[in-house]
Amino acid sequence: MKRRDFLASAAAAGLGLGTRPRIALGERTTGRRLIARQILIAGGGFGTTFIRYMAELTGKPFPRLCYLPTASADRESGIIRWYENCAPLNVYPLVQPSFISSYRMAQSWEDVLLSMDGIVVSGGNTLNQQAIWNVQGIDEVLREAWERGIVLGGASAGSLCWFEEGTTDSRPQEVTKIEGLGFLQGSHSPHYDAEAVRRPTYHRLIRSGELKPGYACDNDAGIYFVDNEVRRVVKTREDARVYYVALEAGEVVETELPAEMIR
Q: Residue 45: left if φ>0, alpha if ψ -120 to 50, beta else—which one?
A: left
Residue 193 CA from chain centroid, whole number: 17
Q: What is the pLDDT of residue 173?
A: 84
* Annotation says 156 is catalytic: yes
With contact defined as beta carbons under 8 Å apart, do 250 and 223 qualify? no
* Annotation says 188 is catalytic: no
Q: What is the pLDDT of residue 175?
A: 82
CA torsion sign for 229, 202, 143, 90 is negative
Q: Could you give the CA distance from residue 38 to residue 183 in angstroms, rounded to a whole number?
A: 10
Each residue's pLDDT tens digit, 61-112: 999 999 999 999 999 999 999 999 999 999 999 999 999 999 999 999 999 9
Catalytic-labelled residue, pool 72, 156, 159, 170: 156
Q: Could you give the CA distance from residue 191 to residue 200 in angstroms, rounded to a whole number?
A: 12
Q: Could you tell me how many residues make up the chain?
A: 263
- Which CATH architecture best describes the domain 3-261? 3-Layer(aba) Sandwich (3.40)
Q: What is the pLDDT of residue 170?
A: 86
Q: What is the pLDDT of residue 34?
A: 76
Residue 239: φ, ψ to 5°: -95, 10
pLDDT means over runs of 10, the chain (263 residues) = 38 38 44 79 97 98 98 97 98 97 94 98 96 97 98 97 94 88 97 94 96 98 97 98 96 97 96
With contact defined as beta carbons under 8 Å apart, do 176 and 198 qualify? no
What is the side-by-side strand order in the sheet with 176-179? 176-179, 163-168, 184-189, 214-217, 242-248, 251-256
* Domain boundaries of the chain, sorted by first residue: 3-261
Catalytic-labelled residue, pool 170, 189, 191, 203: 191
